[in-house]
Structure 1
Amino acid sequence: MTPSSFLVLGAGELGMAVLRALVTQAAPHSTRIAVLLRPASMQSAAAQTLRELGVELVAGDLQNDSQSTLAALFSPFTTVICCTGFAAGPGTQRKLAQAAIDGGVQRYVPWQFGVDYDVIGRGSPQDTFDEQLDVRDLLRGQHGTQWLIISTGMFTSFLFEPSFGVVDLAHNTVHALGDWDTAVTVTTPEDIGRLTAQIVLAEPALTNQVVYTAGDTLTYGQLADTVDSVLDITLNRERWSVPSLLADLAKNPDDTLQKYRAVFAQGNGVAWDRAVTFNAQQHIAVTDVERWIRQNLTAPATTR
């Protein structure tokens, strides 16, 4: 295998998972594994952990550095993997993709660890998704930099995030987004990290394609049944219909969680058959929802 070098953008939950997996899986094939951190983060505890893992630290600011500055930072690396999401601000994902192209990066993996934006299309309730389609158009419209999109679905834990409101154990309730037969695909960040490393290290190389992963694909009805069974409880079940969610969004058009609820309730591009996924095709074990619940949740005392 030709020696490769990897630059990961960001060291949050997903970035750390990708970096740990690359360190484990890439050696001795990789000449460099690096992470780009803001200068203010270079002395953080996370930075020290990365140094101990043997990850090289590169100082840069994805939000504030110019496109040409970022292109120069990216250019020494064979593969750049973006693990910084929408928090970097509008336009950042387009800027990063263009910087990878301008820097002559051999292969770019954009921040697309989520839903299938091609299927969802433009004009969805979550307006930030349109920029993801801009990134795809940009990458597909050129030939100097290869690209690889990894669609993972929602982080598994987000189904159980109280603010999202799908599984609300505090109120002994599960909400179906759309309907009980609406499906959703989820993968844990740890599995995304492991699978991303295997995908970018695959031989022959995977390029210019969308690769899917899934820790699980299930309907909201199946989700409710699984929570009830594993935790030995009986959740109240309430359906949040698409019209009701769109009406809520119209009242609060800047509410990010309302945008996500509406998109997932529509059911387009947010779920796929596990049979089409990289992990299924390569027979790689992943964490499904039942296992995640067993590892992370206990029933509230009031429901036992």
Structure 2
Amino acid sequence: MASLPGILVIGAGELGLQVLRCLAAHPRHTPGTVAVLLRPASINSSYPAKQTEIETLRGLGFDLVPGDIVEDSGESLASVFAHYGTVIGCTGFVSGQGIQLKVARAVLAANVSRFVPWQFGVDYDAIGRGSPQDLFDEQLDVRDLLRSQRQTRWAIISTGMFTSFLFEPSFGVVDLENAIVCALGSLENQVTVTTPEDIGRITAEIVLGEESDALFADRPIFVGGDTVSYEDVARIVESLVQKPVKRNVITVEDALAALAKDPDNGLLKYQAVFGQGRGVAWDMDKTWNRQRGMSITTAKEWATANLLSMIS
């Protein structure tokens, strides 16, 4: 791997913390070379839980860099990014519209050697512009920007949905309490899922592993823990609750009609996109991790480990 002046991870939330832990644990990690960008209010927080989190990061040997991708100017962010050879975005969509494009522009302005943008998720190219989830168009703007230049090499890590989100009651697919699975689009539709822990391991290997230079090849890398149909999900739930599960279908038309009445409802936007079934699942045999024999958590393994305690 080329000699680089360090790695900056933007954010230490659900995914960022896993990426940081796995970078620190990687055999090719050099102590003192990984930093994390955090809001100054987080670094200086007086809340005990936040203080514990900050001490954990310091204990792992990470440099805590103050910065706010929402409030800081692009020029200010670029001045920070310029000190690092690799920048990894781990902030998600919660930062709001326009922020991912702002970060990408700052990365390019800083002449960062390698960039992993916040694109952990679906195949935005396949979904295309104008999807029910309007946040996805910005992801395509970021890709267009990265593809328009050659100075910064990038790797997009396409992971599908977080495994936990597929089973999250608020997502509307799995209702454990009432033993109901609501398929999005059809029971045959599929979705690829990966746990944040596994995404962290994969990301660390892509960034630090022996193949690293070749992997920053300005294209998406498809990974995954599992690709399951909603019928598969129903069977997983049946294995947990030990009784027949009712199967419902939320059609794309139903989701779009509901969205028309409630256009700011993020849940309905996601239901419509996943119901369309395009760009949200891929063949596990073709994933980067499967081809390298990495042991990854399946949907059933995650559900068994995390949901059994919720069943009375």
- What TM-score comes out, normalization by structure 2 length? 0.94
> Which residue matches 1:202?
209
> Which residue matches 2:229?
219
Pairs within 5 Å for 1:30-109: 32-43=33-44, 44=50, 45-109=52-116
Separation (CA, whole Å) in 2 of partners of 1:189 and 1:97: 22
Separation (CA, whole Å) in 2 of partners of 1:258 and 1:20: 33
Q: What amino acid is the match of 1:72?
A: S
Match of 2:169, SS? Answer: coil
Q: What amino acid is the match of 1:248?
A: A
1:284 aligns with 2:284: no
Match of 2:26, SS? Answer: helix
Q: How far apart are 1:62 and its partner, in Å?
A: 0.6
Pairs within 5 Å for 1:245-264: 245-264=255-274
Separation (CA, whole Å) in 1 of partners of 2:123 and 2:30: 31
> Which residue matches 2:2?
2
Structure 1 155/258 Cα, relative in aligned 2: closer, same or farther at 3 Å?
A: same
Identify which of 266, 280, 287 aligns with 1:270.
280
- What TM-score comes out, normalization by structure 1 length? 0.96
CA contact (8 A) 1:2 1:29 kept: no
Match of 2:20, SS? Answer: helix
Structure 1 118/22 Cα, relative in aligned 2: closer, same or farther at 3 Å?
A: same
Q: What amino acid is the match of 2:91?
A: T
Match of 1:48, SS? Answer: helix
Q: What amino acid is the match of 1:23?
A: A
> Which residue matches 2:174?
167
Separation (CA, whole Å) in 2 of partners of 1:19 and 1:182: 34
Q: What amino acid is the match of 1:6?
A: I
Q: What amino acid is the match of 2:299?
A: V
CA contact (8 A) 1:3 1:31 kept: no
Match of 2:33, SS? Answer: strand
Q: How far apart are 1:203 and its partner, in Å?
A: 2.8
Structure 1 46/245 Cα, relative in aligned 2: closer, same or farther at 3 Å?
A: same
Runs of 4+ in structure 1 off by over 3 angstroms are: 1-4, 26-31
> Which residue matches 1:19?
20
Deviates more, 1:46-55 or 1:163-172: 163-172
Say how many residue pairs are matched: 301
> Which residue matches 2:47?
none
Identity of aligned residues (%): 54
Match of 1:286, SS? Answer: coil
Q: Please tell me the root mean square deviation across aligned C-alpha atoms, in Å.
A: 1.3
Q: What amino acid is the match of 2:220?
A: V
Q: How far apart are 1:2 and its partner, in Å?
A: 3.4
> Which residue matches 1:152?
159
> Which residue matches 2:311?
300
Gaps of 5+ in 2: 45-49
Q: How far apart are 1:28 and its partner, in Å?
A: 4.3
> Which residue matches 1:238?
248
